[in-house]
Structure 1
Amino acid sequence: MLKLAPSLALSLALAVLTGAVQAQTPDPVRSEQVKPPASAPKGSLVIIGGGLRGDNADVWGKIVNLAGGKGARIAVFPSASGSPERAAQSIIGYLKKYGADAFAVPVAIRLADSDYRKAADDVALAKKIRDSDGVYFAGGDQSRITQALVREDGTRTAVLEAVWDVYRRGGVVAGSSAGAAIMSSTMFYNPKAILAMLRTGVTDGQEIAPGLGFVGDDVFIDQHLLVRGRFARMIPAMLAKNYKLGLGVDEDSAMVINGKREVEVIGYTGALLIDLSHVVVDKTKPDFNVSNVRLSYLDRGDKFNIITQSFTPSPDKAGGRLDPQRPALRGPVYTNDILGNSAVVNIMERLIDSDQEEAIGIAAGNPRSTAPEVGFEFRFTKTPESVGYISSVAEAYSVLNIRLDVRPIDIPRPLYKYR
């Protein structure tokens, strides 16, 4: 985090005590403060974007360390998996490799010869979980997690209440892919393809549904974010449920969120922060559109405080703040497939270190279609608040406060003719 002048540091200290920290914080990512939830749990969350490799010592080791280190008891929930036994044994093997004493929780709708509803309210099983130091939710289909752990009337089963007890008292709750999706109060449930969702909208109970809410009611979570271009689907979902802040994490990477709501990115790549606090939607237009979204890319090692909205670069970027007067790149910045693998971060990185003030990305459908269709233009713009950092040891960037405007465009078909 940037060093502050003594007078400003004192002002910030007083502001923190009065709950008034807003744009005064160093490198603010948003201008509006997010209030912490009442009676915040003391534990930590490890929210993994999916595709976690067995050799990712940063993530596996962090889970075990947050649970207490060697010998920590970690309950593994394979509830989301289509093959619960296999998933549980694989995860248990990795956790044991990194020092934990892990065990499987037999609550899964796909678990053979088992009544998941009965198991979810088993008092002895709930006590075993409650006596643990941490919990891990496997990947798969997040709807299977909520179906297994939430009663039909919407109340928590005994097993789910035990997980919350672990989290409240200071344990770790980790989850990968589907296990990450359930971390927010709203999760994707049965979503359409991203472009289809932009064209036809988001319906509560179909594309989205209630999650388990470990991260609180004010932050929306998504996973597999960069590899699958999912940032674009987060925006309509957040608008539908009035979220101002969204965090999407990439594969083989994780966001660690502690009881003070401090976020640290670890693993292979990073996470995208989406801010809708000043967003504008033109409701007179029939197609999806949005203006003044703020995007920030948090790379591995970066930290972000949800409450104060302040950003701290990783140690290798501490002295690497980019000088906008000395850009490394010149010429237009654009992509024809903004929903492609890591395209959104690539365009943000190129823009922040460019002599250009804006960049364009296009989202379109099947080029072989014969009928005209609606596509979308994603316009990225640098603002006075836009900041970039570059690593001293690798070509890796952190990018703050890029403005994004999305508007519908007509895509003619056929897109091309052979000569």
Structure 2
Amino acid sequence: MTVKGILIPIGGNEDKGLVAKPSYKMDFISDGILSHVVKESGGTKANILVLPAASSIPEEVGDNYIQAFKTLGCNNVKVLHIKKRKHADKPEFLEALKQADCVMFSGGDQRKISAKIYGSEFHKLLTEKYQHEAFVIAGTSAGAMAMAKEMISGGSSKEAFIKGAVQMSQGLELIPELIIDTHFIQRGRFGRQSEAVAKFPKLLGIGLAEDTGLIIKNGKDIKVIGSGMAIVFDPQHIGHNNEKVLREGTPMTMTNLIVHILANGDRFDIETREVKVLPIEAPFV
């Protein structure tokens, strides 16, 4: 089946145009990650739903996104507060989703997204729209991680490839081929993503730095956006993987793991696992 929708997972702490950052960043209006979300959703007249279901401060998070999208020229932005599982099937929430061009999941605790939404009528409608319509699902941090089927739900960032450093649980199954981790560089999560792909060696691992995202079209075509890096873990040719036989707390071994480090404009095909790197002579943006 050809997927018509677009996924935009984001590594967290994306520029919202609220404060100046001293480090390198994209121009917020023309090239920032949220500007890509708006463009892929159909432009400034798009109906955008913000879901801060993962957040412990949902009202504040919702207000920040309304302001950020308003700065980009969007006025059709609504926040849905799904605070409990039963809220996901409210008729007014389902109607809002039917009319939406884009849903934006905030950061927080990805387990809350799954607990409140997975298997609900809202989840079913969200999946149908993604599969059959030109519909955008964006998510930052927890909202990005929840897109997977095998979702990283916790674990130590300090352990360097120790069995038990990663905890997995049920995600929303929007992109079952991927395992997504976020804040990847800033929080040193190489070890736990390595264990995740050791557990599921038929899947691809994606580690997203902050203010970095992916545009995923057709369920397979990836383009990197934002100011940081995306790291792809491809275990298809691993020659040794002792994850299944070790006790928790034991250092692990995995050989021939392919790792790609990609940046803004680079592309990756989930089906063929081919990389297309932006030419060196291309303009630096």
Does the TM-score normalized on the shorter chain lie above 0.5?
A: yes
Given candidates 124, 146, 152, the residue that maps to 2:114 is 146
Structure-1 separation of matches of 2:162 and 2:53: 32
Measure how far apart 1:171 and its partner are.
Answer: 0.5
**Which string of whole-angstrom CA distances, capped at 9 and with x for unpartnered residues, describes residues 176-215 of structure 1?**
000111011111113134417x334257xxx110111212
Q: Which runs of 5+ in 2 are unaligned?
A: 18-27
Match of 1:121 in 2: 89
Structure-2 separation of matches of 1:281 and 1:201: 18
Match of 2:237 in 1: 278
**Which string of whole-angstrom CA distances, capped at 9 and with x for unpartnered residues, describes residues 231-271 of structure 1?**
22111112213334211111011111112521111111120
Instruction: Give the 3-state SS of the residue equivalent to 2:155 in structure 1.
Output: coil
Instruction: Give the 3-state SS of the residue equivalent to 1:72 in structure 2.
Output: coil
Match of 2:172 in 1: 212
Measure how far apart 1:290 and its partner are.
Answer: 1.2
Matched, 1:267 2:242: no
- Report if the CA contact (8 A) 2:150-2:171 is conserved: yes
Instruction: Give the 3-state SS of the residue equivalent to 2:257 in structure 1.
Output: strand
Instruction: Give the 3-state SS of the residue equivalent to 1:221 in structure 2.
Output: strand
Equivalent positions of 1:340-379 (< 5 A) are: none
Given candidates 72, 78, 82, the residue that maps to 1:107 is 82
Q: 1:94 to 1:252 in 2, by over 3 A?
A: same
Structure-2 separation of matches of 1:94 and 1:131: 21
CA RMSD of aligned residues (A): 2.1
Given candidates 2, 10, 19, the residue that maps to 1:48 is 10
Task: Give the partner amino acid of 1:278.
Answer: H
Structure-1 separation of matches of 2:111 and 2:212: 22
Task: Give the partner amino acid of 2:11.
Answer: G
Measure how far apart 1:314 and its partner are.
Answer: 2.1
Task: Give the partner amino acid of 1:63.
Answer: V
Structure-1 separation of matches of 2:95 and 2:227: 35
Equivalent positions of 1:88-237 (< 5 A) are: 88-100=62-74, 101-108=76-83, 116-150=84-118, 156-168=119-131, 169-195=133-159, 198-201=161-164, 207-215=167-175, 217-237=176-196
Match of 2:24 in 1: none
Q: 1:85 to 1:282 in 2, by over 3 A?
A: closer
Match of 1:19 in 2: none
Measure how far apart 1:393 and its partner are.
Answer: 5.2
* Higher-RCO chain (CA-CA 8 Å, sequence separation at least 6): 2
Structure-2 separation of matches of 1:44 and 1:228: 27
Instruction: Give the 3-state SS of the residue equivalent to 1:91 in structure 2.
Output: helix
Measure how far apart 1:86 and its partner are.
Answer: 0.9
Equivalent positions of 1:258-407 (< 5 A) are: 258-259=217-218, 261-281=220-240, 283=242, 287-315=251-279, 317=280, 319=281
Q: 1:255 to 1:87 in 2, by over 3 A?
A: same
**Which string of whole-angstrom CA distances, capped at 9 and with x for unpartnered residues, describes residues 390-417 of structure 1?**
x7759xxxxxxxxxxxxxxxxxxxxxxx
Task: Give the partner amino acid of 1:305.
Answer: D
Identity within the alignment, %? 28
Q: 1:231 to 1:287 in 2, by over 3 A?
A: closer
Structure-2 separation of matches of 1:392 and 1:92: 32
Structure-1 separation of matches of 2:107 and 2:283: 35
Tell me the TM-score normalised to structure 1 length. 0.60
Match of 1:76 in 2: 50
**Which string of whole-angstrom CA distances, capped at 9 and with x for unpartnered residues, describes residues 155-193 of structure 1?**
x11222222233121210000000111011111113134
Structure-1 separation of matches of 2:203 and 2:53: 30
Q: Which runs of 5+ in 1 are unaligned?
A: 1-38, 109-115, 151-155, 320-390, 395-419
Instruction: Give the 3-state SS of the residue equivalent to 2:37 in structure 1.
Output: helix
Task: Give the partner amino acid of 1:184.
Answer: A
Q: 1:96 to 1:167 in 2, by over 3 A?
A: farther
Segments of 4+ moved more than 4 angstroms: 391-394
